[in-house]
């Protein structure tokens, strides 16, 4: 479904992604794990069009995405939940969700999806008339995910959904990710919390300083000695 | 009490008329600042262009007030978009100072380019309204006062509606809050910025036509003083905050007329700049400005 081939991304002189290649198949949960600064977020930003690769190709459902603008990528069916949530704190919860559906014109479908989001995240329904900035961290994460789902993506990119959340909330968020996946959305998940990510993913890629150093079935990776030492705390 | 009370009331009426005009111009400053953090110093000159278009429509084409207002607003909106595309967009990622200097350059370009085209001479705006003066006791207000206030109120309601309820308005608020996140929603940031310039410039043009109608004369440098004062009004209300610009504009108009009313009319402009200094010293975020804390 999504294929990255030899992607190289630079921030000025810094070579952030050094020839990354991987793929995500329809229906999967794939996770990119790695420590701080490994290039995980850069990778997602490149897919969603916020950054441009200097070399390499990026394709989605057989169409080249390399030169496609970020708004156009949303309309092609890829939606990103950015790191740090990046909700519009100055707007209502309901307005945040409306913005998620910015490119859609099917009013009935939007309404239906809004209900779906509310059934996944009942807290958002209770708080839909509140300013998004007044939500707690966990609720903001839910809003960011709900907002991304409003574009009805085929592929959902999640950047560090567990960041800054209490363990119980992390569990809740991850079970919702599984639920979203079971409803038919393919998921590419970037996480520092490798244990949680591997526990729900089908496959995983391990990034280190801009390169993929390991990949495979998540269960196998979870057993691997290297991963246990480097990412799972022994 | 009678005459003093009348005097105060009279100055209030003058102040509200003047303040409405400042508010219309201030809205454009504040909206543009809100979305690209640029003080668009050419904004007052867009107002001047709007006034000239209004003059042309009423004098040469013999339009009545409303069609002239609409044509002026529309053409100035186009001008605003062109200015942004040509002068500011290439500097989107440059330092803020570079964009600010460009805005000052654009201001001079419009002022002196305007002089070249329409000559520096002052022109008389035709009286499009009956010169009726309504008097209540010793308080007088002109037909023009009523038109200014009604036009301003309608335009502000319209703006509020656009910003609050339309897709473009929501996109504008999203882009002003977080451009990358807006991009991820599928919002075209450039088009949204253009829409902001269009709206702000249309409001400035409306102010320009109203100034022409109210004061009867226009000239190519007429945008400078009202432009600066509207900028102060925007800062006073809290730059980037739409209701702040409305409040700041009205406050500026009222303060100016009161200063004139109590016999210090030569201090009128100084009062405006004193306000700017005081606001920047005491409450740099403006009257309605606040730091919204975000939970992370």
Segment B273-287, tens digit of pLDDT: 998 899 889 988 888
Tokens of A8: 């190289």
Whether B292 and A151 lie within 8 Å, measured CB to CB: no
Whether A86 and B180 lie within 8 Å, measured CB to CB: yes
Q: Is the pLDDT reported for residue B132 higher than 90?
A: no
Which residues on adjacent β-strands are paired with residue A48?
none
Cα(B245)–Cα(B229) distance, rounded to whole angstroms? 11
Tell me whether A138 touches chain B (CB under 8 Å): no
**Which pLDDT score is estimated for B296?**
40
Tokens of A179: 């639920």
Tell me whether A11 touches chain B (CB under 8 Å): no
* Strands of chain B, DSSP E: 123-124, 133-136, 139-142, 217-218
Q: Is the pLDDT reported for residue B43 higher than 50?
A: yes
Return the number of other C-beta atoms located less than 10 Å from residue B179's C-beta: 18
Tokens of A130: 């509140």
Whether B180 and A133 lie within 8 Å, measured CB to CB: no
Confidence of residue A200 (pLDDT cuts 50, 70, 90): very high
Least confident among B58-67, B106-115, B125-134, B179-188: B125-134
Architecture of the structural domain at B2-282: Orthogonal Bundle (1.10)
Backbone angles phi, psi at A104, to 5 degrees: -90, 150
Backbone angles phi, psi at B132, to 5 degrees: -60, 140
Instruction: Give, to the nearest 10 degrees, the angle between helix A93-100 and helix A137-149.
Output: 30
Backbone angles phi, psi at A4, to 5 degrees: -110, 135
CB A7 within 8 A of CB A19: yes
Q: Which of residues 169-208 of B touch A (CB under 8 A)?
A: 170-171, 173-174, 177-178, 180-188
**Which pLDDT score is estimated for B293?**
45
How close does chain A come to B291, measured CA to CA in Å? 11
Confidence of residue B138 (pLDDT cuts 50, 70, 90): confident
Q: What is the number of H-type helices and E-type strands within chain B?
A: 11, 4
Interface test with A, best of B169, B176, B184 (most A CBs within 10 A): B184
Backbone angles phi, psi at A158, to 5 degrees: -115, 125
Of B179, B210, B191, whose CA–CA distance to B34 is shortest?
Answer: B179
* Strands of chain A, DSSP E: 2-11, 14-24, 29-33, 55-60, 63-64, 78-81, 155-159, 186-191, 203-208, 211-217
Quick: pLDDT tens for B156-190. Answer: 999 999 999 999 999 999 999 999 999 999 999 99
CA B273 to chain centre: 17
Whether A137 and B184 lie within 8 Å, measured CB to CB: no
How close does chain A come to B1, measured CA to CA in Å? 47
Quick: pLDDT tens for A74-103. Answer: 999 999 999 999 999 999 999 999 999 999
Whether B185 and A75 lie within 8 Å, measured CB to CB: no
Return the number of other C-beta atoms located less than 10 Å from residue A226's C-beta: 11
Confidence of residue B295 (pLDDT cuts 50, 70, 90): very low
Which of A50, A87, A98 lies at the smallest CB-CB distance from B170? Answer: A98
């Amino acid at each position: 479904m999504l294929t990255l081939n030899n992607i190289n991304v630079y921030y000025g002189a810094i070579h952030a992604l050094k020839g990354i290649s991987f793929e995500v198949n329809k229906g999967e949960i794939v996770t990119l794990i790695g420590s701080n600064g490994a290039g995980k977020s850069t990778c997602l930003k490149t897919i969603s069009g916020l950054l441009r690769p200097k070399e390499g190709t990026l394709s989605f459902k057989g169409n080249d995405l390399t030169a496609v603008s970020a708004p156009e990528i949303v309309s092609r069916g890829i939606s990103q939940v950015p790191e740090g949530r990046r909700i519009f704190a100055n707007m209502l919860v309901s307005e945040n969700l409306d913005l998620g559906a910015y490119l859609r014109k099917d009013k009935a479908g939007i309404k239906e999806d809004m209900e779906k989001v509310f059934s996944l995240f009942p807290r958002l329904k209770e708080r839909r008339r509140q300013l998004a900035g007044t939500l707690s961290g966990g609720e903001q994460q839910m809003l960011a995910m709900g907002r991304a789902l409003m574009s009805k993506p085929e592929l959902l990119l999640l950047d560090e959904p567990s960041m800054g959340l209490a363990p119980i909330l992390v569990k809740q968020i991850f079970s919702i990710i599984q639920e979203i996946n079971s409803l038919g959305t393919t998921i590419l998940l970037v996480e520092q919390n490798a244990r949680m990510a591997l526990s729900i993913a089908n496959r995983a890629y391990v990034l280190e300083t801009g390169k993929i150093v390991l990949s495979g079935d998540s269960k196998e990776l979870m057993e691997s000695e290297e991963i246990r030492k480097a990412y799972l705390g022994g | 009490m009678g005459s003093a009370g009348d005097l105060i009331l009279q100055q209030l009426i003058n102040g509200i008329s003047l303040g409405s005009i400042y508010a219309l111009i201030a809205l454009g400053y504040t909206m543009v600042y809100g979305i690209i953090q640029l003080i668009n110093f050419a904004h007052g000159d867009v107002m001047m262009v709007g006034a000239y278009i209004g003059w042309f429509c009423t004098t040469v084409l013999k339009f009545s007030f409303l069609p002239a207002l609409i044509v002026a607003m529309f053409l100035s909106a186009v001008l605003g978009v062109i200015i942004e595309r040509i002068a500011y967009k290439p500097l989107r990622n440059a330092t803020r100072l570079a964009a600010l200097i460009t805005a000052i350059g654009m201001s001079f370009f419009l002022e002196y380019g305007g002089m070249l085209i329409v000559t520096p001479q002052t022109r008389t705006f035709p009286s499009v309204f009956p010169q009726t003066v309504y008097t209540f006791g010793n308080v007088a207000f002109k037909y023009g006062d009523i038109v200014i206030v009604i036009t301003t109120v309608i335009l502000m309601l319209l703006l509020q509606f656009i910003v609050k309820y339309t897709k473009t308005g929501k996109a504008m608020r999203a882009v002003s809050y977080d451009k990358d996140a807006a991009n991820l929603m599928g919002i075209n940031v450039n088009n949204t910025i253009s829409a902001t310039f269009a709206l702000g410039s249309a409001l400035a043009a409306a102010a320009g036509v109203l100034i022409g109608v109210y004061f009867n004369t226009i000239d190519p440098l007429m945008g400078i003083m009202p432009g600066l004062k509207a900028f102060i009004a925007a800062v006073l209300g809290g730059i980037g905050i739409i209701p702040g610009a409305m409040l700041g504009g009205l406050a500026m108009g009222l303060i100016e007329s009161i200063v004139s009313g109590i016999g210090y009319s030569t201090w009128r402009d100084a009062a405006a700049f004193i306000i700017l200094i005081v606001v920047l010293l005491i409450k740099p975020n403006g009257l309605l400005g606040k730091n919204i804390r975000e939970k992370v």
